[in-house]
Amino acid sequence: MRLVLLSLIVMAGFLNGQAAAAPDPTPHVDIRDSGFVYCVSGQVNTFNPQKASSGLIVDTLAAQLYDRLLDVDPYTYRLVPELAESWEILDNGATYRFHLRRDVTFQKTAWFTPGRRLNADDVVFTFQRIFDRKHPWHSVNGDNFPYFDSLQFADSVQSVRKLDRYTVEFRLARPDASFLWHLATHYASVMSAEYAAQLTAQERQEQLDRLPVGTGPYQLAEYRAGQYIRLQRHGGFWRGKPMMPQVVVDLGSGGTGRLSKLLTGECDVLAWPAASQLTILRDDPRLRLTLRPGMNIAWLAFNTRKAPLDNPAVRHALALAINNQRLMQSIYYGTAETAASILPRASWAYDNDAKITEYNPQKARAQLKALGQENLTLQLWVPTSSQPWNPSPLKTAELIQADMAQVGVKVAIVPVEGRFQEARLMDMNHDLTLSGWATDSNDPDSFFRPLLSCAAIASQNNFAHWCNPEFDNVLRKALSSQQLSARIDAYSEAQNILARELPILPLASSLRLQAYRYDMKGLVLSPFGNASFAGVYREKNKEVKQP
């Protein structure tokens, strides 16, 4: 009864935006004695990354709460084992077989006590729920799994089956050379089938995505909407006990507020500091700064379903008006490079012949006049908070607004709170959208299909509403071969189509930044997303004088 009551209290807290707490032996101790504070902007709409298209659950929390079958090494960019000890590729990439670890335990929380270790049933449940539209759990909390929907995996995965207690096999309708990489993203976090069975018996299935149970290094202890998330150490973590008993994820401050907290010691780690703050961060001896190339891209999306932006010639003319070099100087302060492709330069399929869009306002004005569009009025929808790919979206929008004014185009900026989907971007009323994407996969397919395929419109990731059958066919061709050279050729063709049609204008590929207090050790900044906090610790008795 006690566990049931605690479960209801925590779930009610999640739904109402109030504190949600699990038992903790030391709830009031100074966090510096038992953990650290991680400051980041963002919000939580679900605690299941499978149900999200982006955001804090994917960027930060998934690596703490869950594990995947595979991981990506942040230094070599290669696939490495995680829950799967080993795997086999069969039938030229149409069948994938995974052999699971036998020592992995699920988290014991206020709402669930595991009765067994992870096995094949958990993997089968996790992916059948995503891929099988007839599965009883597929429509719980909605039938959308945005990342996998955009890849059309429900149509391409024929079966997910258990061969024995620790062996799982995926059979695909056709070879897919990107399949392993998609299973290494945080969208492919593995859930507990035992927990799902318990919730089914209690008729509380919706709780699975709101009160998480995973195998990761930390588990949910407390959540207060818009303020903080407290994570508690998973003592049975299969890699070994995490170094810190708890982590507080601080959600309560904006850009300058988070910087102030870092300077005063209220924050130990500042995720995604603004590029304009780099001078302060570098000059303070109490702080450290890490910069790494990121697998991300920022872009301007044109609504190609709305006239006159349905005309590629209009899109090209507008692109000529944007002074990208000024964006680099005023927004990124040397922490990004101008993008010439939807792929960042670090991608193995990046087209080195891709050209950055020319800045030529006189030519833009002339082309718009020739097209009869010299007095355009457009709406530009912009997120209000900083993003991994853009530290200052509103300022970026203002610069684009000024550039467009120089060629006679009036741009009205519409600030958007929260996720784009919640701002009804998919109702197609917008003209332009500032957006971007960061992925924890090194496969180019994780940029192309989730963002610009025809299927990505329905999955609410394709803000350009662009559907091009020729482009989709090229992407399918790229997946049909295990030969890297053949895939590179196909992705070069795909990039050429995008350059010609220009549904989105690539703007920047930015470095990943992370600032932290001098005594924090073990932080890993990955180009593919946030890494586990399991190895993070605080170095004791080290003092640095304030400047």
Query: What digits encode the pLDDT tens for the residues 313-345?
Result: 999 999 999 999 999 999 998 889 899 999 998
What pLDDT, on a 0 to 100 scale, did the predictor assign at position 29? 53
Q: What gap in Å lies between CA 362 and CA 360, rounded to an integer? A: 6
Which tens digits make up the pLDDT trace of 117-176? 999 999 999 999 999 999 999 999 999 998 898 888 889 999 999 999 999 999 999 999
Please determine whether the domains at 2-247 and 296-510 fall in the same fold group of CATH. no
* pLDDT for residue 2 is more than 70: no
- The secondary structure element, H or E, covering residue 438 is strand 432-438
- Closest by CA position to 82, among listed 63, 97, 96, 67: 67
| Domain range list for the chain | 2-247, 296-510
Confidence (pLDDT) at 16: 43
What's the CA gap between 208 and 212, in Å, rounded?
Answer: 6
pLDDT band at 389 (very low <50, low <70, confident <90, very high): confident
Residue with tokens 């989105």: 504
**Strand (E) or helix (H) holding 314:** helix 312-320
Across 74-78, 230-234, 353-357, 407-411, least confident range: 74-78
Instruction: Please compute the mean of the pLDDT values over residues 172-187 and round it to a whole number.
Output: 93
Q: Which residues fall within 8 angstroms of residue 547, CB to CB, at 6 or more apart?
A: 283, 284, 285, 286
Class of domain 296-510: alpha beta
More confident of the two residues 234 and 254: 234
The pLDDT assigned to 56 comes to 87
pLDDT of residue 168: 98
For 457-515, what is each residue's pLDDT tens digit? Answer: 887 789 999 999 999 999 999 998 888 899 999 999 999 999 999 999 999 998 888 89
Say what the pLDDT of residue 271 is.
Answer: 87
Share above pLDDT 70 across residues of the chain, in percent, rounded to a whole number: 90
The CATH homologous superfamily of the domain defined by 2-247: Dipeptide-binding Protein; Domain 1 (3.90.76.10)
- With residues binned 3-state (H G I as helix, E B as strand, rest as coil), the percentages for the chain, rounded to 5, are 35, 25, 45
Contact between residue 314 and residue 369 where contact means Cβ atoms under 8 Å apart: no
Average pLDDT over residues 433-453: 88
HSE at residue 365, side-chain half, CA atoms within 13 A, is: 10
Average pLDDT, the chain: 88
Residue 424: pLDDT band with limits 50, 70, 90: low
Exposed/middle/buried for 243, CB within 10 Å: 0-12, 13-18, 19+?
middle
